[in-house]
Amino acid sequence: MTDTSPKTDTAHPQLMPAPPEPLFLGYSAFELRSLLPVAACVGFLSLALVVLVIFPMQRTAGREPNATIRAVLSDNLLLLHLRVWPLLAIAALGGGALALADSRRTARALARLEQRLRRVAIGEAEDLPPARGGGFTQFDDVVVSLRFAFERTTRRHRAALQQVQDNLKRVVLRLAEQEVPRVELRKTLGGIVKEVEAVLDSDRKPAGGKMRP
């Protein structure tokens, strides 16, 4: 016989998801996107150099009737190629290395912030130690406030549920011992309902100020 009873999924979200798979040389897509501004700047400078400098020099050298002057212009153009393109390549490599280093630091800081928020979401009591120069430290107060708000809400709900449980136990014991008048029973159950509604109403109200532990 097939079991058709409903199953309750009690799985919590993962504390730390698997990091994104590196795309190139150990760098993720997020980190490699930091190279786009560097590539755009290098491409723009290369295009401007070719259009505004190299092509006019080639045109001038080609139209020069004097062979000696044409040879000098060609040598100058060759020297320009030998000096400018290596410098541009070095600048591109240096800018790319700095961009990748900064994006790696940012990615690690974001991963740590995500892990802290996941700990808050699943109710982990311990927080991660402070980061050393990892960035996004301005969110530390936000994470602490969220953790405090979750803990305060959990304590309030636990206390309210404990009170409701105690009241229901007293009602059950009285019903087991003797017959309780309907008016008194309605009054007792109405008080329990009001306690639950008070907790729900307090959760619906927006926080009036900054939460601090």
CA distance 171 to 167: 6
**Binning pLDDT at 50, 70 and 90, where does residue 147 land?**
confident
- Residue 38's pLDDT is what? 92
**Binning pLDDT at 50, 70 and 90, where does residue 104 land?**
confident
Among 5-9, 22-26, 74-78, 114-118, the range with the most confident prediction by mean pLDDT is 74-78
DSSP H or E stretch at residue 15: none
**Binning pLDDT at 50, 70 and 90, where does residue 22 land?**
low
CA distance 198 to 194: 6
pLDDT, average across residues 91-96: 93
CA 113 from centroid of its chain's CA atoms: 6
Whether the predicted pLDDT of 92 surpasses 90: yes
Q: Scanning the structure block, which residue is given the tokens 């959990």?
A: 154
- Residue 19's pLDDT is what? 56
Alpha helices in the chain (DSSP H): 29-32, 35-49, 55-63, 67-122, 140-177, 182-204
Whether the predicted pLDDT of 9 surpasses 60: no
pLDDT, average across residues 32-41: 90
- Residue 130's pLDDT is what? 60
**Binning pLDDT at 50, 70 and 90, where does residue 47 land?**
very high
